Amino acid sequence: MNKIIIDPVTRIEGHLKIEVSVENGEVKDAKSSGMLFRGIEFILQGRDPRDAQMLTERICGVCPTSHSIAAALNLDSAFGISDKIPDNGRIMRNLILGAAHIADHILHFYHLSALDYLDITKVASYDGSDAVLSSLRNFAERGKLGPFIPRYEGDYRLSDEITLNVIAHYIEALTMRRKAQKMVSIFGGKMPHNMGVIPGGVTMVPTTDKIISFIWRLNELRDFINTIYLPDVLAIAEAYSDYFEIGVGCRNLLSYGSYDLDGKESDLTKRQRLFKQGTVSIDLNFNKLDITQISEEVKYSWYESGSAETEPKFGKEGAYSWIKAPRYGGKVYEVGPLARMMTNYVNGDPRIKELADPILSRFKAEPKNLFSVLGRHIARAVETKYIADSMQDWLLQLKPGESSYVDYIIPDDSIGVGLIEAARGALGHWIEIKDKKIANYQCVVPSTWNLSPRDDSGQPGPVEQALIGTKIKDESNPFEVVRIVRSFDPCIACAVHCIKM
């Protein structure tokens, strides 16, 4: 048995170690380890509840908007105003979240994932007149290819022409994701760590000039998504179609749903959302969401077992990660864009079917083939288009000059829950308030689900399951491992959490 250790796994957020054992070219065992503990939830205890969205968004600089909105929904619920947020506030939160998702997905495909498929050194032989490619060639000619070398060598399959196109798009995507961050900033004040999302709504009143400046940035992004991002994902799928079979995972998907389409239903598991709440299995069996089914287990994590609060305990016998193991009904669930797409797909959402079905028929694939490395990339690109197209309508629903915020009184004692979909999947925040202070705060975060270690009954986490059984062609260049891991878009600063409520 050979051991392959990848530490650090790069081009993700945070500190992740992946270890696989390989026998006769096949992964027999896999371990996913989060390598940083900060304990933000401990830091929240005793603070003013209103600070929760400002502090929890700093869990992650890639997806702060998701945390700020999960926290705001959580506080809305604890303050008893979930059904009173003005439509302007609800819609601006959707726009802030949507713009951030677009930025994240473009970043993930081009800057975090593409180098696993794209031979960027081919730019050295570029002899055309494109200014960007020429400047990259000059860069390559200086012989200092940091940070693009060292890398895995071998399995780069794209033609020269497609390679050069995607390299140019890698650079263009830097500009486009920056524009999407500007869109967050238009209503959120700044990015990363937007300031606009607060309990009660949003700090800013929408104005027509802001709306139109948002619309035209969105239009540029929609062009990029339609003419560059989606086609590039499909070009890579064409060249690497075996990845419809690789990285299947745990075969169960979970979505909390996201993008509130109405604000009157206080129960977030029942609220009308663009992405629906529920679970989907690989045989396309759908079930409604029941958050009482969620548990967290720590047998293989560096925490004391059994106590009400999970205190860190580095070096615990048998443990190998700072990430805990959340489970749903005792079973292992994957979260993320694939879960969102499939939840809407099995519920017959016509827009999702319209986007996904032609892709399935082009690759002669079944919906179950989407439970794969390529399925995750395709789901991400499809939902980027779906979200961007929806945002146009939302912008026109805003009422310029009208309120986006409702006032509240902080209760002495209360509890709350905030459920949303971060770019990487289902994100839940829970709060307990005592004497107007935070007594307890808990986050269960997408990468906690996906990158989790084994649970108390020994079931490996979703990424671990996706790795086990994979054939590795070249153990000194284990492309399969990093392609599988990155298809989940790991975010480890988010994943590591500790409080049990």
Find the binding residues for other proteins in span 245-284 (CB under 8 A).
none
Binding range to other proteins, per CB under 8 A, among 58-66, 155-163, 219-227, 368-376: 58-66
The angle that helices 373-397 and 350-362 make with each other, rounded to 10 degrees, is 150
Which tokens in the block code for residue 433?
């308030």
Rounded to whole angstroms, the Cα distance separating 11 from 211 reads 34
Rounded to whole angstroms, the Cα distance separating 193 from 186 reads 13
Asked if 6 touches other proteins (CB under 8 A), the answer is yes
Minimum separation from the CB atom of position 91 to other proteins (A): 15
**Residues near 58 by Cβ (< 8 Å), separated by ≥ 6?**
40, 64, 193
In the bound state with other proteins, the residue whose beta carbon lies nearer, of 33 and 369, is: 33
Binding range to other proteins, per CB under 8 A, among 33-41, 280-288, 374-382, 418-426: 33-41
Minimum separation from the CB atom of position 336 to other proteins (A): 18
Minimum separation from the CB atom of position 209 to other proteins (A): 11
Minimum separation from the CB atom of position 310 to other proteins (A): 12
Minimum separation from the CB atom of position 59 to other proteins (A): 6
Tell me the HSE value of 226 on the side-chain side, using a 13 A CA sphere.
10
Rounded to whole angstroms, the Cα distance separating 426 from 495 reads 12
Rounded to whole angstroms, the Cα distance separating 142 from 150 reads 16
Which tokens in the block code for residue 443?
């986050």
Backbone φ, ψ for residue 197 (5° rounding):
-80, 120
Minimum separation from the CB atom of position 434 to other proteins (A): 16
Rounded to whole angstroms, the Cα distance separating 161 from 155 reads 17
Q: What angle do CA 281, 287, 289 make, to 5 degrees?
A: 115
Selected from 30, 32, 64, 464, the binder of other proteins by CB under 8 A is: 64
Minimum separation from the CB atom of position 62 to other proteins (A): 6
Q: Give, as ranges, the residues between 164 and 223 that touch other proteins (CB under 8 A).
A: 171, 174-175, 177-178, 181-182, 184-193, 195-196, 198, 200-201, 203-205, 213
Selected from 39, 80, 231, 411, the binder of other proteins by CB under 8 A is: 39
Binding range to other proteins, per CB under 8 A, among 9-17, 288-296, 331-339, 354-362: 9-17
In the bound state with other proteins, the residue whose beta carbon lies nearer, of 198 and 323, is: 198
Selected from 54, 323, 325, 463, the binder of other proteins by CB under 8 A is: 54
Please, are residues 499 and 41 in contact by the beta-carbon 8 Å criterion? Answer: yes
Which tokens in the block code for residue 2?
């050979």
In the bound state with other proteins, the residue whose beta carbon lies nearer, of 141 and 357, is: 141
Minimum separation from the CB atom of position 276 to other proteins (A): 30
Rounded to whole angstroms, the Cα distance separating 121 from 127 reads 14
Selected from 136, 233, 237, 342, the binder of other proteins by CB under 8 A is: 136
Task: Give the residue numbers annotated as catalytic, written as ranges.
Answer: 13, 60, 63, 67, 424, 447, 491, 494
Selected from 21, 28, 29, 38, the binder of other proteins by CB under 8 A is: 38
Selected from 2, 23, 26, 61, the binder of other proteins by CB under 8 A is: 61
Asked if 304 touches other proteins (CB under 8 A), the answer is no
Torsion of CA 127, 130, 133, 139, to 10 degrees: 80
Residue 488: which of 456, 453, 448, 457 has the closest Cα? 448
Q: Give, as ranges, the residues between 92 and 131 that touch other proteins (CB under 8 A).
A: 107, 111-112, 115, 120
Site size for other proteins (CB under 8 A): 90
Q: Give, as ranges, the residues between 461 and 500 that touch other proteins (CB under 8 A).
A: 482, 493
Strands 425-434 and 414-422: antiparallel
Q: Give, as ranges, the residues between 71 and 90 that touch other proteins (CB under 8 A).
A: none
Binding range to other proteins, per CB under 8 A, among 36-44, 241-249, 367-375, 420-428: 36-44
Work out the number of other CB atoms within 10 angstroms of the CB of residue 456: 15
In the bound state with other proteins, the residue whose beta carbon lies nearer, of 150 and 458, is: 150
Residue 237: which of 288, 297, 162, 181 has the closest Cα? 162
Rounded to whole angstroms, the Cα distance separating 178 from 78 reads 34
Contact code string over 376-415 relative to other proteins, x by CB under 8 A: ---------------------------xxx-x--------
Work out the number of other CB atoms within 10 angstroms of the CB of residue 400: 12
CA distances from 206 to 44, 100, 248, 455 (A): 31, 18, 44, 46
In the bound state with other proteins, the residue whose beta carbon lies nearer, of 197 and 370, is: 197
Minimum separation from the CB atom of position 131 to other proteins (A): 11
Asked if 154 touches other proteins (CB under 8 A), the answer is no
CA distances from 208 to 87, 396, 400, 457 (A): 16, 10, 6, 56
Minimum separation from the CB atom of position 443 to other proteins (A): 13
For 24: left if phi > 0, alpha if psi spans -120 to 50, otherwise beta; the answer is: left
Residue 346: which of 262, 259, 287, 427 has the closest Cα? 287
In the bound state with other proteins, the residue whose beta carbon lies nearer, of 51 and 223, is: 51
In the bound state with other proteins, the residue whose beta carbon lies nearer, of 11 and 222, is: 11
Please, are residues 188 and 96 in contact by the beta-carbon 8 Å criterion? Answer: yes
Q: Give, as ranges, the residues between 307 and 366 that touch other proteins (CB under 8 A).
A: 312, 314-315, 322
Backbone φ, ψ for residue 211 (5° rounding):
-60, -45
Q: Which helix (H) or strand (E) element contains residue 262?
A: none
Binding range to other proteins, per CB under 8 A, among 57-65, 240-248, 271-279, 412-420: 57-65
